[in-house]
Structure 1
Amino acid sequence: MRAVSAAEVAPTSYAWEIRAEGLKVRAGLRRMAVDGLDLSLGTGVHGLLGPNGAGKTTLIRSLATVLRPVGGTLELLGTSLGGATDLRELRRRIGYLPQDFGYYKRFTVREFVEYMAWLKEVPRRDIPAAVQRAVERVGLADRADDRMRTLSGGMVRRAGIAQAIVNDPRILLLDEPTVGLDPAQRLRFRELLHELGTDSCVVVSTHLVEDVAAACTAVVLLAEGKLVFEGTPDELAAAGGPKDVGDSPIERGYSALLARPDQERGAW
């Protein structure tokens, strides 16, 4: 059990957890990494696919309120991200795992997740139970009191997932979460995604198309900062054919859509 905030029990006043119209976000000073994106995401697990440089990480960072849009509109949980928006309450309801995250190597797993819970303003009395639950969900209960510096790369990644879910977020953003996980750990992670997606909006950026096919209820495909496809994994698989590159139907659909000219992509 945990205490919930007034915002969590208030009636929902938004149709989508994430809603973007004409969204533009820069990566660096010049490059428009997300360029005119229209997107509406609700409860469920959304796989974010695209080649290197497609704008996936930039989009994830903007959804995490790390980067501010330079054009268009972005609403998270009904809150519009304007220039003077107070982000503290919103950030309490978001979980975020970046590709590379920092941690104190002398912290134990428990201390690391506790610290992140404190930063997210989880009520002090709820932190021990929230941390224990998060650590158990990622399969690190038996290593909870080991120092972070003693963990393998896959275990560190799982600790990163634990800190992302410790506040029971309404929006969960995971950037390449399966890097370093072995096959068995990836299967357990897919099960966890299914569980989390029942009452949260989960966005998973990945290069592994098979993870999307197995774990996601919807797919968003980006190329050069623009939306190429939005639909179900089955619809993505149907976009390809026997002549397209790939070892599975969903891989062939992925490569087929990326190979099409912009005007044909727009039909999806």
Structure 2
Amino acid sequence: MTIGKDHRMTPAVSAADIAPTTYAWEIRATGLKVRVGGRRMAVDGLDLTLGTGVHGLLGPNGAGKTTLVRTLATVLRPTEGTLELLGETAGGMGEHRALRRRIGYLPQEFGYYRRFTVREFVEYMAWLKEVPKAEIPAAVQRAVERVGLADRADERMKTLSGGMVRRVGIAQAIVNDPTVLLLDEPTAGLDPAQRLRFRELLQELGTDTCVVVSTHLVEDVAAACTDVVLLAGGRLVFQGTPDDLAAAGGPEHMGDSPLERGYSALLQSPGPERGAW
């Protein structure tokens, strides 16, 4: 069969591209366990559901926050239990290419090319996330504007301060307009004014995105998060609103604010692995 010069083939569309959204929660973990280092169960039997909004992930060092975020990003594979992301069972380690297009992820430390400009680096990350080529310039411009770096977009990464590099990390995480956004200690290195702007950005994103923010700064949670997830020893200690967290503490507990006192009270309460710093 001969195909004429003016014939145009219709691009193939997969069933996944046209399927309706059927999941009840953007993130659902049931009995989730994740082992790291061959022995230690860093996430140990976690049951958790998260939907649209900004979810603050709190906990002491070693609580399992980073391991959980890496698992949600499909970097780590669950050891036991189930993890559903956007209705798809997650396995990690190279699987779920289509799913990763819908996830934004900022790790605690992220690699970048020092000779790239800000714009080039965010463009490169957009390409890796398979943002359509025609949409990349506008997506990159929007992302750098949202993190306040439009005036530095054509400067090389090696010339930026640590706080600015962190803001570039946030830009690359949001360049694909993700449905699930995972941010691990995103305010590290930001000055007070930048942190205030970041909180505003979180509130904007949380209107139509499931945002998970791992942080040790309780005040960031109070200002920007719709709910709080508190981990200790890889297990869920608390999930509720910032007001609920504040109500859990009293004047007898450590902390300079009601939220910090609630945080301390919950970690000191009886239960496996709680209170371990």
Q: Same fold (TM over 0.5)?
A: yes
**Residue of structure 2 aligned with 1:232, choices 237, 241, 249:** 241
The residue number in structure 2 matching 1:94 is 103
The residue number in structure 2 matching 1:105 is 114
| 2:151 is equivalent to residue 148 of structure 1 | no
Partner-residue secondary structure (3-state), 1:188:
helix
1:105 CA drift (Å): 0.1
Partner-residue secondary structure (3-state), 1:181:
coil
The residue number in structure 1 matching 2:187 is 178
The residue number in structure 1 matching 2:147 is 138
The residue number in structure 1 matching 2:59 is 50
Report the CA distance shift for 1:58/1:221 in structure 2 as closer, same or farther (over 3 A): same
1:238 CA drift (Å): 0.3
How far apart in 2 are the matches of 1:154 and 1:84? 30
The residue number in structure 2 matching 1:75 is 84
Consecutive unaligned residues of structure 1, counting only runs of 5 or more, are none
Higher radius of gyration, 1 or 2: 2
1:8 CA drift (Å): 7.0
1:11 CA drift (Å): 2.4
The residue number in structure 2 matching 1:216 is 225
Partner-residue secondary structure (3-state), 1:149:
helix
| 2:169 is equivalent to residue 160 of structure 1 | yes
How far apart in 2 are the matches of 1:241 and 1:215? 23
Partner-residue secondary structure (3-state), 1:105:
coil
How far apart in 1 are the matches of 2:92 and 2:219? 39
1:29 CA drift (Å): 1.1
The residue number in structure 2 matching 1:40 is 49
How far apart in 2 are the matches of 1:66 and 1:84? 6
Note the alpha carbon deviations across 1:4-40, whole angstroms, 9 max, x for none: x985774220100000000000122111000000000
Please report the TM-score for the alignment, with normalisation by the length of structure 2.
Answer: 0.91
The residue number in structure 2 matching 1:117 is 126
Paired AA for residue 240 in structure 2: G
How far apart in 2 are the matches of 1:84 and 1:137? 31
How far apart in 2 are the matches of 1:140 and 1:85? 32
The residue number in structure 2 matching 1:254 is 263
Note the alpha carbon deviations across 1:126-151, whole angstroms, 9 max, x for none: 00000000000000000000000000
How far apart in 1 are the matches of 2:194 and 2:98? 33
Q: Is the 8 A contact 2:122 2:171 kept in 1?
A: yes
Partner-residue secondary structure (3-state), 1:104:
coil
| 2:137 is equivalent to residue 128 of structure 1 | yes
Which is worse superposed, 170-179 or 254-263? 254-263
**Residue of structure 1 aligned with 2:215, choices 198, 206, 210:** 206
Consecutive unaligned residues of structure 2, counting only runs of 5 or more, are 1-13
Cα RMSD after superposing both structures:
1.8
Give aligned pairs, total. 261
Paired AA for residue 188 in structure 1: R
Paired AA for residue 125 in structure 2: M
